[in-house]
Structure 1
Amino acid sequence: MNNKTAKDIMTTEVIVAKQDDTVSDVANILVKQRIGGLPVVDSNNKVVGIISETDIMKKEKHIESPNVVNFLEGLIFLEDLKKMEDDIKKIAAYKVGDLMSTDIVKVQEDDTFDMIANIMIKKSINRVPVVDKDNTLKGIICRYDIIKAMYSE
């Protein structure tokens, strides 16, 4: 039985995204920081969503790859390649607000470790924002924080 609360295990230095940020900006942060997602906050630091690798990848599935014609001679339609490149650029220019998940699980600072761990396991989520009663972001808990709390006394 772990009697820690969200406040004990959360990371308080949270990297956040804003709804107006581009997907390209967020993708760069995810890669550089080696994290899978960011909470999205409004100008008052209230949580409005989460943007994750999954949200970005779902969008990329809609890119049509070019049709290959006369494969053996290696001929392909260059305009199709151009279209694919344009699609990728378009996605990079998307705003976070267009792709973020808004149906998100949030926890409060005094929620128990057990409750949070169970929610994350049951719902297969990798991160939960920690908010106060006004929905202002206070921290974030990732699976890594859960594991760390389980094995460090």
Structure 2
Amino acid sequence: MEELNAKDIMTKKVITVNKDDSIEKLSELLLENKISGVPVIDNTDKVVGIVTEADIIVKDTELHFPRFFKLLDGIIYLESLNRFRDNLKKHLATKVEDIMTKKVRTISTGTPVSEIAEIMLESKINRLPVLDEKGNLVGIVTRADIVKSMISKKK
């Protein structure tokens, strides 16, 4: 039996984000599509990075939340909420390019599934962009795609 390749299991309609998009736009995109990460493209549609929920969370740790305490049914803030609002606006306006992973592992359409699984496990990553011979993004393979291929292979 012939081994499956990336082209056999990849998702062809790839959801991407532009490197100049804001974290706010990225967050909305991930939530709307119920995904945890996407390839980042430049203005020529070339893959220049990958960004995940984890990257957003790491950026969130830089955001200082105001201290407060509860008194009866109310909340009393010990710090200025205006400063927090200003910082939040700046934070949400941060560009994807500033938080993305720039060193992206990619695969070709002919990469065997066994090799894809090995790359994911060794690199501790959950998704791999699939590029054609010209370096164009043609698909994406996730761990879920590999699991689906294993199940369908047994049937």
- Fold similarity call, TM over 0.5: yes
Conserved in 2, the CA contact under 8 Å of 1:60 and 1:88?
Answer: no
TM-score by length of 1: 0.89
Matches of 1:134 and 1:3, distance apart in 2: 24
TM-score by length of 2: 0.88
Partner in structure 2 of residue 76 of structure 1: 77
Q: Identify, as 1 or 2, the structure richer in strand.
A: 2
Matches of 2:70 and 2:21, distance apart in 1: 43
Q: Which amino acid aligns with 1:49?
A: G
Partner in structure 2 of residue 92 of structure 1: 92
Residue segments in structure 1 that go unaligned for 5+ positions in a row? none
Moved over 4 A (4+): 71-74
Q: Which amino acid aligns with 2:6?
A: A
Residue segments in structure 2 that go unaligned for 5+ positions in a row? none
Q: Once structures 1 and 2 are overlaid, which stretch shifts more, 1-10 or 52-61?
A: 1-10
Q: CA RMSD in A?
A: 1.9
Query: 1:134 offset after TM fit, Å?
Result: 3.1
Which residues in structure 2 correspond to 1:47-58 (within 5 Å)? 47-58=47-58
Conserved in 2, the CA contact under 8 Å of 1:2 and 1:150?
Answer: no
1:3 is paired with a residue whose SS is coil
Would the alpha carbon gap of residues 86 and 67 (structure 1) be closer, same or farther in structure 2, given more than 3 Å must change? same
Which residues in structure 2 correspond to 1:1-153 (within 5 Å)? 3-68=3-68, 71=69, 75-79=76-80, 81-153=81-153
Matches of 2:57 and 2:2, distance apart in 1: 35
1:51 is paired with a residue whose SS is strand
Q: Which amino acid aligns with 1:64?
A: H
Number of residue pairs aligned between Structure 1 and Structure 2: 150
